[in-house]
Amino acid sequence: MKKLSAPPQRPDPAASLAFQALTAAERLAKSGLRGLLIWQIARTALRLGFAATAAMLAGRLVMGGAVDPGLTAATIVLLAASCLAGLAADRVQASAENTVSTGLRGSAGDRLNEMPARLLQSLPVGSVIVSMQRHPEQVAALVVGHRAATAMMAAGPLLAAGALGFVSWQAALLIAGLTPVMILFFALVGKAMRRRADAQERAFGRLADQFADRIRTLPTTLANHATAGEAAKLARRLDTYAGKTIGLLRIAFVNAGIIDFFASLSIAILAVFLGLGHLKLATIPGFSNLELWQSLFILMIAPEFFAPFRRFSEQYHAKAEGLAAAAALDRLLGAEPVAAKTLPSLERLRLTLPAKGLVAIVGPSGSGKSTLLRRLAGLEHGGMQGAQPLAGTGIAWVSTDSYVPEGTLGEAIAWNAVAVTRDRLEDSARAIGLLDDALLPGGLDARLDKGGANLSGGQRLRIAVARATLAGRAVLADEPTAKLDRETAEAVRRTLLAISRSRLVVLATHDRDLAAAADITVDLTQGDAVEVAA
């Protein structure tokens, strides 16, 4: 064991990078899956029991036998029990899938939390949202529903064949003998289907998402007056694609057709064999000299033998979707960190930050201003000497991509700050000109769209500045005056200067006026010479 005083070991990068959604989901699914299988087996067994007693009852009635009240009661109890077991199985499956999806989403969230900010920023937002929203559910359906259906494909027919064996092992053998033939057909159809699907993907794959694409690009189409042409083209392409899809389905449905065929065929064969046996016209071992209830029982069980195959084939989509979802999650959450540009000037920088005052980081674009700011915030590691990350003391970050929660303007300003009075909120908002913004009517009660969608970068930045005045923490500001009109920029400058009288304000800026007002200027202009002017 390492001593505690040893420098913190960075975990093995390969191990920490890989996100294995499927493995994680399987772990989460374990107990639920076991419960589900138990209930499904119970349901199948009870159904078989019901079939046996019901067949006995019907057989005896028709053959003029006496009705045994015990048997009647047993039939009803078994039926009720099998329905209840079915209910339990459905509920357990739903809960187990929910556990997996919630748990998987949680660990994906942990992974996002561990990610460095820049990596997080580089991920495609839309894919992250879709992944977090849908993929856990799809993976859950794979590791619970699909797995259970796979297992039941072995357990279900075995149970059914076992039950048949009680009455006639020859009938069990006949049914079981049909299975390999059926599987052979499956394999053939599967192969043909894959070949066809691949061919379709090659030829028409690009038409698959045309509708989605035309909806996504609708405003562009509108702006270019291309709507009529696009609608006609869309109709043509959707029509072509639908035609090809039908071609594919024609083969895909053969799979289900095979199961139907064997299930129907088994009934037909059995009914004929059993009938001949009863008539004593032919002596078929295992099918002759049976009681009526026995042959009715065989007739009822035969379809049960094939039912698990059908349920499994219905899960085909769950499997494809689940695998794709797991792969997408792995890809997204195992993304390689974006290689940071090496900035020699930053490696050599010696900087001692004062407790208060204005520090300006200046230099041309790409000289590392924002990187230095992120390092000061403790978001990135770099060989910076002297300067301790400020993260420990708490930071108020000001930039055009500052976070704006849903709610009113007042709530956005008060976000992540200690409780403040409305007066102070109002003061801070007024100081930065947020109260007389024509686009935000209603003052502090102005309604902001979800995620601040109706805000410009400048408005976000001003909300962050107002927030910073209330927060009492050190302020880090990334280009606080860029993209603002003259008056607003002036208000931002004024406010930041005022804050710097009691706290530390570090800003990365192109703004000469701001730089001139700074107590300390860090100039990154010269690739390797860093001037720190007091």
Q: Which residues in the 430-469 window bind other proteins by CB under 8 A?
A: 437-439, 441, 450-459, 464
Q: Does 203 bind other proteins (CB under 8 A)?
A: no
Nearer to other proteins, 264 or 526 (CB): 264
The span from the CA of 106 to the CA of 113, in Å, is 10
First-to-last alpha carbon distance for the chain, in angstroms, is: 47
Say how far apart CA 25 and CA 147 lie, in whole Å: 12
Of the two residues 118 and 430, which places its CB atom closer to other proteins in the complex? Answer: 118
CB 475 within 8 A of CB 353: no
CB of 410 to other proteins, least distance (A): 18
- Piece of the chain touching other proteins by CB under 8 A; list 94-102, 348-356, 424-432, 518-526: 94-102
Amino acid, res. 480 = P
Of the candidates 68, 198, 201, 213, which one interacts with other proteins according to CB under 8 A? Answer: 213
Among 154, 184, 199, 235, binds other proteins (CB under 8 A): 235
Nearer to other proteins, 294 or 345 (CB): 294
CA gap 493, 470 in Å, rounded:
16
Which residue stretch of 352-360, 401-409, 497-505, 509-517 sits at the interface with other proteins (rule: CB under 8 A)? 401-409
95 vs 57: CA distance, rounded Å: 37
Instruction: Give the torsion sign (CA, 200, 206, 209, 215).
Output: negative
In the bound state with other proteins, the residue whose beta carbon lies nearer, of 140 and 444, is 140
User: Can you tell me which residue has the tokens 């920029």?
Assistant: 489
Q: Which of residues 39-68 bind other proteins (CB under 8 A)?
A: 50, 54, 57-59, 61-64, 67
Shortest Å, Cβ 20 to other proteins: 19
- The answer to whether residue 532 forms part of the interface with other proteins (CB under 8 A) is no
Looking at beta carbons only, is 169 or 261 nearer to other proteins? Answer: 261
The rounded distance, in Å, linking the Cα atoms of 159 and 153 is 10
- The nearer residue to other proteins, 4 or 247, going by C-beta atoms, is 247
Binding mask 344-383 for other proteins (x = CB under 8 A): ------------------------------x--xxx----
Q: For residues 189 and 251, give the distance between their C-alpha atoms in angstroms, rounded to a whole number.
A: 7
Site for other proteins contains 491 (CB under 8 A): no
Q: How far apart are CA 120 and CA 131, in angstroms?
A: 14
Residue with tokens 């005896």: 60
427 binds other proteins, rule: CB under 8 A = no
| C-beta neighbour count of 316 within 10 angstroms | 15
In this chain, which of 323, 357, 403, 424 binds other proteins, going by CB under 8 A? 403
Show contacts with other proteins in window 142-201 (CB under 8 A).
Answer: none
Candidates 16, 23, 264, 388: give the one binding other proteins (CB under 8 A). Answer: 264
In the window 314-343, what residues touch other proteins (CB under 8 A)? none
| Chosen residue from 77, 254, 323, 327 binding other proteins by CB under 8 A | 254
Chain center to CA of 442: 38
DSSP 8-state class, residue 385: B
At its nearest, how many Å lie between other proteins and the CB of residue 349? 19
Q: Are 431 and 451 in contact (CB under 8 A)?
A: no
User: 313, exposed or middle or buried, with CB in 10 Å at 0-12, 13-18, 19+?
Assistant: middle
Cβ neighbors of 343 (< 8 A, separation 6 or more) are 367, 368, 371, 524
Binding to other proteins in span 71-90, by CB under 8 A: 75-76, 79-80, 82-84, 86-87, 90
